[in-house]
Structure 1
Amino acid sequence: MEQFDKIVIGSGQAAPALAAQLAKRGFRVALIEGDQLGGTCVNNGCTPTKTLRKSAKVAHMVKHAEEFGVSAGDVQIDFLAAMERMRERVNTSRAGLTQWLNSFDNIEVIFGWGQFAGKDGDKFLVDVDGRRLAAPDVFLNTGTRSFTPPVTGLDSVRHLDNRGLLALNERPSHLVIVGGSYIGLEMAQIFRRLGSEVSILHRADALAEREDSDVSEIIADMMKDEGVNLYLEAAMTSLAPTENGGVTVTLGDGEVLDASHILFATGRVPNTENLALESVGVECDDRGYIKTNPQLQTNVPGIWALGDVNRRGAFTHTSYHDHEIVLASLDGMQDLYQWKGADQRPTTYAMFTDPPLGRVGLSMTDAKKRVAEGQNILISDMKMANVSRAKEESETRGLIRLIVDGDTEQFLGATVFGLNGDEIISVITNYMATGASYRIMQQALPVHPTVSELLPTILAGLKPLTAE
């Protein structure tokens, strides 16, 4: 039995940083990974998709070059070259992470599927690749994987998740995407711009339905303008293979779609079933996510759960932030500016379509519910079509929406859908962390010409929100 001070299982965005910080504090750390270092983000999430998004954006800009006084001629897309560029970026990123972790003398990276094997006194036992490790503290960062719902004929056809899609070497002639939420929308736009016919099947009557209805409408218009076929409130009844290796998709109304490829972007499930959590008594919810308190401690002292697997934020940035919360707890939370718990942070994220959507805190729909309960809330909108920088760049789709508490004057939420929305939302997110009044931002000196320079102007137009 091998003794360690700390064991980290999984190497998503929380784990490497946590392992490094623990090592710097003098602990001997085992970092266990069952697949590839870096987790979803590095290998089949953020890094590859944003790299491929750039290729798609360049193709889109070149096709529209004449609008800017540039003649580009006939545009040819080398799909394989774009995919190889993406893979090179992934390999470089993973190699850099590997080199960095190996630079720590007291971190041992162990490849294999780690699982608990009970306790020995005050130490947890973890088996991996024929070895038995022991440590008093274990940190779980095993993440999630794609969920594919049961459909008649599913086993008879070639179907893709996000990993399979990014492994393609040939461009799909017709990509059917099941799911019209964030991942599905990003992939739809990317592959449409790279030359595929794309169809989205979505169960709801609006795309990205957790957004405000006007935002969902803008997203739908954007997709339709780029030639993406939308099937809303669509249900599949069956799938069947075609002679050329494609798939026939039969919808509930009897319509049949012939696709070369089908991608399921229908949610995620946690990677917890092989951890043998029952051997140490760690509790999960009914979907397999590990229950934690705001400091990310499980019901078993000495075991923490970080990242997607704790259901406290399914994003790379929340996973990374989790490691800071854990360190604050381990350090005794002595620093005034350390985050003390996950319940403090507002939900913030981006959808990386082009233009992107940035969101933090309450939507207008959420805010109206608060108003109905008696809260005093102020709101102000501005269309991107009224933003000079957006007009100068012919990027006028979208809006900016700011929501504040009428009594405390603190920000409650924001939506920035449009040019640089994924970057601008961080201005609001960071400001919310200060707890300051919106009036301070309203009096700030912005840089011209930018999109964010309009934030003080929008704040000057705040008006009471009604529940209707």
Structure 2
Amino acid sequence: MAYDVIVIGSGPGGYVAAIRASQLGLKTAVVERESLGGICLNWGCIPTKALLKSAQVAEYIQHSKDYGITVGDSSVDFGAVIKRSRGAADKMSKGVQFLMKKNKIDVLMGNGKLKAKGQVEVTDKDGKVAVHEAKHVLLATGARSRELPNLKIDGKTVIGYREAMNLPKQPKSMIVVGSGAIGVEFAYFYHSLGTKVTIVEFMPRIVPVEDEDISKELEKIYKKKGIEIMTNASVEAVEKKGDGVKAKVKTATGEVFLEADVVLSAIGITANIENLGLEALGVKTDKGKVVVDAYYQTNVPGIYAFGDMVPGQALAHVASKEGIVCVEAIAYNEKKYAHKPTPINYNNVPGCTFCAPEIASVGYTEKQAKEAGYEVKVGKFPFTASGKAVGAGATEGFVKVIFDAKYGEWLGTHMIGANVTEAIEQTVTARTLETTWQEVLNSIHPHPTMSESVKDAIEVAYGEAIHL
């Protein structure tokens, strides 16, 4: 078959790009080797949120007396929790199947690779090979769990995020290596269901990409919950011991040994750039990522890449927007779209971590803003002073805002608390519109809400605090 666009990979970057391409009048196909929706819908974003909701319900039951409600004996049916999560994933994947049909996109199941310029070779599960032509080939093959030489994932003693979502039985104890989003989310999930969890983090603080105040707050909350945390530490070796594992951990004060049922490796991801035919066509890569321009064109005309396989934040919503920008740029050059799309501002991408309490952030951290040469005004508003948070019994955490003292530019926002992932978009939109602090304070915020705490934090930054 001949197409205008073939997308290899149907994750949140690939399937969104395919839909946008079809909307713009480009004959489109998408190649997928496993399940439509990719890792995000099937083994990442969506099913993990189902798991985390089950954990939250378990916590509600454990603390029901705090709300004036007495609950009788309760227990965790781990298998049912996993089954519910898989059901959520299946439902969303079927939704993508529907969207492919609705938008008249051909789905080519199998492994896709570049055969030659303008040609994509697809090998199905039976080994049958078909070659398809396309003027534009979009690579969106995502990433997988990163492995260290001394921490190889075997699916039993050392597992990755995929196995962690589908274990046959709940472990009594778990060592989580790495405290990024994946690590702290699974730590919360398993701890809430009764697993003894220890987090081992190589950096001096957990969630190390976040503002330092966020890291300190989450560590304090997790330790209060009973999650053990070891920073400035690394797992040097893991060996099987009985039905579990024994891990040698290097710390600042020497070696210690930890025993657990299983080790979860959550040390990041590795881009899937192998076996795509990149080398044969001379597609440039650097440090394990495909090199692209602002519109995701590689150095080879007609070949594009976006999502986790290119530099930038490895987030589902980033991949989706990159795919749209890529396709709209193609359509503009084909005179099928009225204007060239605006390149992404990667300093205005929201990051969300769905542990409990949630973390949401965008823009500069306080340290980054100062290092960039800004004189800053910082405001911090604790949820202990929020009427909505007090009523909900969710007073952990705070909102922290950072502004440029000279011009009032909104440099960043960092939140930790209940449902803060739903409140970060206000900052993203305001920064896109180049809003100043005065304009935000002149916008009436609904009361009582968690989101009004952003306004309260701005008032603190400028010495106009009402509720503190």
Q: TM-score, normalised by structure 1?
A: 0.92
Whichever residue aligns with residue 267 of structure 2, its letter is T
Q: Secondary structure at the residue paired with 1:272?
A: coil
Instruction: Give the aligned partner of residue 248 of structure 2.
Output: 250
Map of 1:262 onto structure 2: 263
Q: In the alignment, is the contact (CA less than 8 A) between 1:153 and 1:240 conserved in 2?
A: no
The Cα shift of 1:156 comes to 11
Could you tell me whether the CA contact under 8 Å between 1:205 and 1:233 is conserved in 2?
yes
- Partner in structure 1 of residue 404 of structure 2: 405
SS in 1 for 2:158: coil
Residues 57-456 of structure 1: pairs in structure 2 closer than 5 A: 57-105=56-104, 107-119=105-117, 123-129=118-124, 130-151=129-150, 158-244=157-243, 246-252=244-250, 253-286=254-287, 288-332=288-332, 339-343=341-345, 346-370=348-372, 373=373, 375-456=374-455
Bigger Cα displacement from structure 2, 167-176 vs 17-26: 17-26
Cα-to-partner distance string for 1:382-420 (whole Å, 9 max, x where unaligned): 122222221222211111111123344331110111122
Comparing 246-255 with 143-152, which one deviates more in the overlay? Answer: 246-255
- SS of 1:5's partner is strand
Instruction: State the shift of 1:207 in Å.
Output: 0.7
Gaps of 5+ in 2: 464-468
The alignment covers a number of residue pairs equal to: 453
Contact 2:210 2:361 in 1 (8 A): no
Please provide the CA RMSD for this pair. Answer: 2.1
**C-alpha displacement at 1:153, in angstroms?**
8.3
Q: Secondary structure at the match of 2:290?
A: coil
- Give the C-alpha shift of residue 57 in structure 1: 0.2
- From the superposition, tell whether residues 89 and 400 of structure 1 become closer, same or farther in structure 2 (CA, over 3 Å): same
Check the 8 A contact 2:151/2:238 in 1, yes or no: yes
In structure 2, distance between residues paired with 1:419 and 1:356: 6
1:75 shift after superposition? 2.4
Q: What letter matches 1:109 in structure 2?
A: V
Contact 1:7 1:135 in 2 (8 A): yes
Seen in structure 2, the aligned counterparts of structure 1 residues 276 and 306 have a Cα distance that, compared at 3 Å, is same
Deviation at 1:197, TM superposition (A): 1.1
CA separation in 1, counterparts of 2:120 and 2:141?
17
Q: Which is further off, 10-19 or 229-238? A: 229-238
Change (3 A) 1:137 1:391: same
Gaps of 5+ in 1: none
Measure how far apart 1:51 and its partner are. 0.5
2:424 counterpart SS class: helix
After TM superposition, the score normalised by the length of structure 2 is 0.92
Measure the CA separation in 2 of the matches of 1:108 and 1:273.
24
Tell me if the contact between 1:442 and 1:455 (Cα under 8 Å) persists in the aligned partners. no
Alignment match, 1:459: 458
CA separation of 1:312 and 1:205: change in aligned 2, threshold 3 A: closer
1:50 positional shift: 0.4
Given that 1:203 and 1:234 are in contact with CA atoms closer than 8 Å, whether structure 2 keeps it comes out as: yes
How far the C-alpha of 1:285 sits from its partner, in A, is: 0.7
Where 1:332 maps in the other structure, the secondary structure is: helix
Change (3 A) 1:443 1:31: same
State the secondary structure of the residue aligned to 2:304. Answer: strand
- With over 3 angstroms needed to count, the CA separation of the structure-2 counterparts of 1:265 and 1:415, relative to structure 1, is same
The range that moved more, 409-418 or 184-193, is 409-418
Amino acid at match of 1:250: K
Report the Cα distance in structure 1 between the residues aligned to 2:155 and 2:31, rounded to whole angstroms.
Answer: 35
Q: Measure how far apart 1:184 and its partner are.
A: 0.4
Which residue of structure 1 aligns with residue 22 of structure 2? 23
Distance in structure 1 (CA, Å) of the matches to 2:37 and 2:120: 24
